[in-house]
């Protein structure tokens, strides 16, 4: 079950990714999604293995964004897929039944489709306006409530979530809140993570 703070890594540009993630884990992050679209394959594997070890030590889950093959290679806890990525059935065939498969969704219909195709959880967003993704469309809290009523699998709220927004999202039915810059850009990720983890 996904609950609490679902941390998503940023573009790793300052070389302190592992340190910041470890601090966020100390602050209570329960799941880490490693997003590494701009890393070389070698660097991606090395960092994924380091993050996996850190998550194991903290009792947290590591989810790989967009790369099911990498999730399989390092035996991560699962993979997160976008609407245009590998299908859920293909990812399931690659990873097996015991790994988590999450899917990004933007509507009730997409969430229901992901659930019916075997997703273990759905992420819905952008719940609020965000600067993290240029193409993010705001779906709002009302859509979050509708998705919560429609699906039985865990629901992760994502997009523009600050600590106040996290409370609103949880009240609306989210099981977890996904945060990037609110934790990764903070000078003290452990304290920032704690604000989302309460």
Cα gap 169→190, rounded to integer Å: 21
Q: How confident is the model at residue 197 (pLDDT cuts 50, 70, 90)?
A: confident
pTM of the model: 0.95
Q: Does the pLDDT at position 13 exceed 90?
A: no
Residue 104 CA neighbour count, 13 Å, CB half: 20
Tell me if 131 sits within 8 A of 106, measured CB to CB: no
Q: Does the pLDDT at position 149 exceed 70?
A: yes
pLDDT at 95: 97
Q: How confident is the model at residue 138 (pLDDT cuts 50, 70, 90)?
A: very high
Cis peptide before 126 (omega within 30 of 0): yes
Cα gap 45→47, rounded to integer Å: 6
Cα gap 2→135, rounded to integer Å: 26
Using CA atoms, how far residue 116 sits from 105, 107, 110, 121, in Å, is: 13, 14, 10, 11
**Exposure of 187 by Cβ count < 10 A (0-12 exposed, 13-18 middle, 19+ buried)?**
exposed
Q: How confident is the model at residue 14 (pLDDT cuts 50, 70, 90)?
A: confident
Task: Please compute the mean of the pLDDT values over residues 23-27 and round it to a whole number.
Answer: 97
- Tell me if residue 157 falls in helix, strand or coil: strand
pLDDT at 1: 74
Catalytic residues: 35, 104, 133
Q: How confident is the model at residue 11 (pLDDT cuts 50, 70, 90)?
A: confident
């Amino acid at each position: 079950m996904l609950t609490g703070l679902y941390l998503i890594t940023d573009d790793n540009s300052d070389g302190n990714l592992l340190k910041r993630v470890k601090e966020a884990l100390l602050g209570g992050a329960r799941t880490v999604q490693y997003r590494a679209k701009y890393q070389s394959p070698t660097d991606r594997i090395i960092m994924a293995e380091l993050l996996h070890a850190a998550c194991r030590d903290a009792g947290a889950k590591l989810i790989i964004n967009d790369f099911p093959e990498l999730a399989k290679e390092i035996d991560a806890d699962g993979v997160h897929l976008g609407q245009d990525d590998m299908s859920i059935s293909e990812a399931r065939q690659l990873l097996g039944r015991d790994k988590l498969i999450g899917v990004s969704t933007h509507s009730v219909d997409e969430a229901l489709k992901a659930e019916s195709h075997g997703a273990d959880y759905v992420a819905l967003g952008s719940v609020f306006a965000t600067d993290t993704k240029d193409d993010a469309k705001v779906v709002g809290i009302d859509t979050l409530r509708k998705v919560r009523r429609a699906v039985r699998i865990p629901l992760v709220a994502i997009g523009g979530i600050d600590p106040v927004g996290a409370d609103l999202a949880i009240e609306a039915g989210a099981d977890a809140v996904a945060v990037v810059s609110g934790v990764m850009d903070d000078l003290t990720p452990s304290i920032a993570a704690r604000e989302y983890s309460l």
